[in-house]
Structure 1
Amino acid sequence: MKKVGKPMFFIVAAIIIGLTALSFLGVSTTYGDVPTKYIKGVDDIRWGIDIRGGVDVTFSPPEGYDATDEEMAAAESIIKVRMVSQNITDSEIYTDYNKDRIIVRFPWKEDETDFDPEDAVKELGETALLTFKEGSNGPVVIEGKHVQEAYVALDPQTGNPVVALTLTSEGATLFSEATGRLKGQTISIWMDDTKISEPVVNDQITDGNATISSPNFTTEEAKDLADKINGGALPFKLQTENFSSISATLGLGSRDAMVTAGIIAFILVSIFIIIMYRLPGVIACIALMGQVAGSIACITGFFPNIPSFTLTLPGIAGIILSIGMGVDANVITSERIKEELKVGKTIDGAIDSGFSRTFAAIFDGNITMVLVAVVLMGAFGPPGSIFARLLAPIFRWFGSSATGAIYSFGYTLVVGVIFNFLMGVTASRLMLKSISKFKAFKNPWLYGGVKNND
């Protein structure tokens, strides 16, 4: 690392304190009775059903329409995708095939004040917009109305499962023109704003009967894709049969108790590492504060390109686990600095050696957690997400499924680990190297060594 100047400590500390204040408090103004939110804070977190309560709604086809089991499964699949795509990671969805009903439970929005269930369920019941587009996101080739049916079939040559499509006459004409023009290229399949597949065009399809294949397709994955396509081609819009509010099983009081317990635990851990490691312990506490603030910011939607997430109990567990890893990283480094001082190294030499010799162990532990979190987000997040596409070859061993609770855990874990690298490794080293330049902090005792009486 290049030479670190004295001002670096104040710069990094100011950035961390500023991030902490903004991520927790947010920034908003009120003009008359109209509030404007510029930066979201902890008050804008969307809490899970257990903590805040939510909506219980029953969807059904229009009166008199007898939906098939395949159509009900398709409708359920669309609701799941919409939930996770909107980062509603705490929901319960049940389908009653005998009575053609879908029961959905999900939490209130973070800014919901009037608890209007009717307004909360409008988007979920709308017919999904299915489109086939040229390339990754080009002009529309055909829409859901052009698909009569999608179902799972077996490739007669390989025996692998495929998704078979039957198009309308208009759809067959449009698809024939597009596949003839795009041979060797891809046609992506979109559900609303979520890409669910991107198959390659091998031949021109003129008869309106197409198949989507992949060497890694499992039967479950093929059925999942067929359900999504059928959902976009549903001939009906789901009707709201009834809806009601759900009372929280834990409640905001329990949430406040958890937050209080977390603050107390953070204070006790901070006192412990300051007593044990002195000045490196103080630096570690500042870095941990930045790690917590970064995780909260990624949940509230603080950063422009990162949408807000529902904070569930598994999500809270992910934050706690990542903070534990942050504490571990700082303890390992601080302990190593003490050891380097005991063998006679200078303060600068001990700091450099302490960080460099512990980096490999910290990196290995953190990258393992990142890989686990990425697999969870790829397997249980939106099918069009970057992780789902990246890990598609692995998913042949298990079918993908949009499961918000697991996705929430993976998300909070991965952002926590990323901020552990930024704060527990990079920021800690910058601050410690900087503050050690001041004469008042050149005593080895402050870093765990023997007191210098000079």
Structure 2
Amino acid sequence: MLNHTPLWKSLLILVMVSFFALFALPNLYGEDYAIQISTSKSEQLDTALLDQVNEVLKEANVVVKAAALNDTQILVRFSDDSNQRLAKETLDRQLEDKYTVALNLAPNVPDWLKMFGASPMKLGLDLRGGIHFLMEVDMETAIDKALDDLQSDMKTSLREEDIRYKSVKKVSDYMELTFRDEEALDKAVFNLKRKYPGYEFSELDGLKVTAKMSEQQLAETKSYAVQQNITIMRNRVNQLGVAEPVVQRQGAERIVIQLPGIQDSAKAKDILGATATLEYRAVDYENDVIAAAKGRVPAGSEVINDTNGRPVLLKKEVIAAGKNIVDAQSGIDQYGLPKVSISLDSKGGAKMSRFTKKNIGNPMAVVFIEYKPTDKLDKNGKVIFEKERRVINQATIRGHFGSKFETTGLDSPAEAQNLALLLRAGSLIAPIRIVEERTIGPSLGKENIANGMDAIMLGFILVIAFMVLYYKKFGLVANIALAANLIMIVGIMSLIPGATLTLPGMAGIVLTVGMAVDANVLIFERIREELREGRSPQHAISSGYDNAFSTILDANITTLIAAAILFAIGTGPIKGFSVTLMIGIITSMFTAIILTRAVVNTVWGGKRLEKLPI
């Protein structure tokens, strides 16, 4: 039968639209102003803390809408932002530094929708409010640290191969190795070339060899520095307790961080930009520290001052460092002083175990390292970071230990807590500087949402009015498809875990509203053309859909390709626009061609008609 849609196909279309409508529903329920209380592993979230929070807020005359405890956080809801901010100030004072108190917006999704795993769309910073950082990695320091690691590794490798050498030192951007004889030099070059294929080795006069990074190795080192810093930044953001953060790479050396709902930029900068880490070193007790401080430093050692400015002579070799730390918890030791309990990874634990086993009764020091930005700029106009080091603790090794131990000598419990947080999150591969910082208030976000929704609704109403006036009842069918299209876009955006609706994304939806009916305009005009040529209504419907299909497909595929390219090479706002545009193109193809044909076939298909209401 001409223009007949099988029942199974109609049911399938209905199920698909209903499915996406279900996941679009949570967006109708809005959000509450909320405060999210999270914690490190050293503190507990329990019903006693929840009761304490409720009591503290009641005493401060803060009106609480609801408060609930789950496995990872306490969420307190409020009816307005004034109670939310008063609650944050109160809880910051009462809970001190033991817990992270963050502003948030909590969705009002009913329990029956939560059973299906439905949740509202994630909103971008421009719609929700919060803080935006653009950070740049200091690549010179990243390369310098890579060469420091290479220096230590090469010494170990030469010792393992029993190759005698005079020195292995870093010179500018390459390594210089000096050997005692030709045989050692040849053997070293053979072994090092095999072990370090990313380096270019050149032999010099005087039994010297240089090792310089190849272009590929240099690019890999830079890429690794950015990627590792991104991983560490994600860990630090998690420590801040931010809901739905964005941490992603931008270009070769930069990282974009967006913290929705957060308004305290000072605290965020302190945590995200901090570069503190620790190194565990052996104390060189065999040589004179006073003579070393005056300039006569023994080979393989260096002088670093302690927190009181006194010189300490340390071995250069690092036993374990921040990169080996997998967990760190602050606390108080038996003398009432602040401490950090450290857990090392297998590599660091093995090195620490070997060292302490051989050095019971000898001293070991803890070096605190921090990179601080200066007022100076390098030749490229970038901020120069200054490396500050101080010995925070010296202790005699009393017994053999490995991956778990304690570090003391910190100035205050607050310093111990901050250091533990940073060590848990990981030490940065290289320092970073903030290139751009923006704070977007929640009120501006609300205004953006309101303006965006007004634009969508105005476009929607004007298109609906035009289609009904121009295409009569067939225009109503196109409007049904348009409504289904919007529902499907919202449902898909709510379903995709990484999708975020931004202000440009709303612009993409507005554009999709216009494009969604474009296909129906082509189909309806073809139907009119067929009718003018004397075809029967049923034949006109069939030919209209069939003949317009290739044109619609070509037009949408070219737009889809353009949107995909924007998504691939664009950043930030451009990605937000391209995501909604791509989703809108795909859903509009479905609703304009498949859904409208099913409706048209159901209403007018298979009937003897004299004319069509088009």
What is the TM-score when the length of structure 2 is the normalising length? 0.40
CA RMSD after TM alignment: 5.0
CA contact (8 A) 1:46 1:309 kept: yes
User: Counterparts of 1:358 and 1:282 in 2: how far apart (Å)?
Assistant: 19
The aligned residue for residue 575 of structure 2 is 407
2 CA distance for matches of 1:435 and 1:25?
32
Q: Which has the higher contact order (CA 8 A, sep 6+)?
A: 1
Cα offset for 1:419?
Answer: 0.7
Pairs aligned (count): 303
| 2:258 equivalent in structure 1 | 106
Report matched runs for 1:286-365 at 5 Å: 286-300=480-494, 302=495, 306-365=496-555
Q: How does 1:41-440 map to 2 (within 5 A)?
A: 44-56=120-132, 75-76=225-226, 105-108=257-260, 236=428, 246-247=440-441, 250-300=444-494, 302=495, 306-380=496-570, 403-437=571-605
Instruction: Give 1:93 deviation, angstroms.
Output: 7.1
Larger radius of gyration: 2
Within 2, Cα distance between the matches of 1:287 and 1:72?
50
Q: CA deviation at 1:241?
A: 9.6
Q: Cα distance, 1:335 vs. partner?
A: 1.7
Describe the superposition over 1:27-58 as per-residue Cα deviations: whole angstroms up to 9, x where unpaired: 99x998477644545xx333333333212559
Matched, 1:444 2:611: yes
Contact kept? 2:477, 2:596, Cα under 8 Å? yes
Q: Which amino acid aligns with 2:258?
A: F
Distance 2:245 2:574 in 1: 12
Identical positions, percent: 25
Offset at residue 259 of structure 1 (A): 0.4
Taking the aligned partners of 1:334 and 1:83, their CA distance within structure 2 comes to 53
SS of match in other structure, 2:541: helix
- Distance (whole Å) between structure 2 residues aligned to residue 22 and residue 245 of structure 1: 31
Which letter maps to 1:25? P
Q: Structure 2 CA distance, aligned partners of 1:83 and 1:432?
A: 54
Letter in 1 for 2:17: I
Partner of 2:377: none
SS of the aligned residue for 1:444 comes to coil
SS of residue paired to 1:283: helix
C-alpha separation in 1, matches of 2:428 and 2:591: 51
- Structure 1 unaligned runs (5+)? 128-144, 147-169, 171-233, 381-402, 449-454
User: Do the aligned residues in 1 keep the contact of 2:459 with 2:513 (CA within 8 Å)?
Assistant: no
SS of 1:106's partner is strand
Where 1:55 maps in the other structure, the secondary structure is strand
2:20 pairs with 1:19 = yes
Larger mean Cα displacement after TM superposition, 279-288 or 309-318: 309-318
User: Is 1:287–1:423's contact at 8 Å kept on the other side of the alignment?
Assistant: yes
1:26–1:39: structure 2 CA closer, same or farther, 3 Å change rule? farther
- Structure 1 length as normaliser, TM-score? 0.52
**Contact 2:125 2:132 (8 Å CA) reproduced:** no
Distance in 2, Cα, partners of 1:79 & 1:322 = 37
CA contact (8 A) 1:277 1:335 kept: no
**Partner Cα distance (1:50, 1:366) in 2:** 29
Residues in 2 aligned to 1:378 and 1:7: alpha-carbon distance in whole angstroms: 38
Deviation of 1:274 (Å): 1.3
The alpha-carbon distance between structure 1 residues 104 and 358, as it changes in their structure 2 partners (threshold 3 A), is closer
Q: Taking structure 1 as reference, are residues 296 and 346 closer, same or farther at Cα in structure 2, changes over 3 Å only? A: same
**Cα displacement (A) at 1:269:** 0.8
Q: Distance in 1 between matches of 2:545 and 2:224?
A: 53
Contact 2:127 2:444 in 1 (8 A): yes
Q: C-alpha displacement at 1:106, in angstroms?
A: 1.7
d(CA) in 2 for partners of 1:324, 1:438: 31
Q: 1:375 to 1:51 in 2, by over 3 A?
A: same
- CA drift of 1:81 comes to 8.8
**Offset at 1:286?**
1.1
The amino acid across from 1:432 in the alignment is: V
Q: Distance in 2 between matches of 1:91 and 1:236?
A: 15
Q: Is the 8 A contact 1:48 1:311 kept in 2?
A: yes
State the Cα distance separating 1:443 from its structure 2 match. 5.8
Contact preservation (8 Å) 1:20, 1:289: no
Sort the Cα spacing of 1:120 and 1:61 in 2 relative to 1 into closer, same or farther, 3 A: closer
Q: CA deviation at 1:277?
A: 0.9
Contact 1:59 1:241 in 2 (8 A): yes
Q: Which residue of 1 aligns with 2:98?
A: none
Task: State the distance in 2 between where 1:121 and 1:316 align.
Answer: 33
* Structure 2 unaligned regions, length at least 5: 30-64, 70-108, 145-217, 235-242, 277-322, 325-346, 348-425
The Cα of 1:363 is off from its aligned counterpart by 0.7
Structure 1 residues 82, 294: CA separation in 2 closer, same or farther (over 3 Å shift)?
Answer: farther
Other-structure match for 1:196:
none
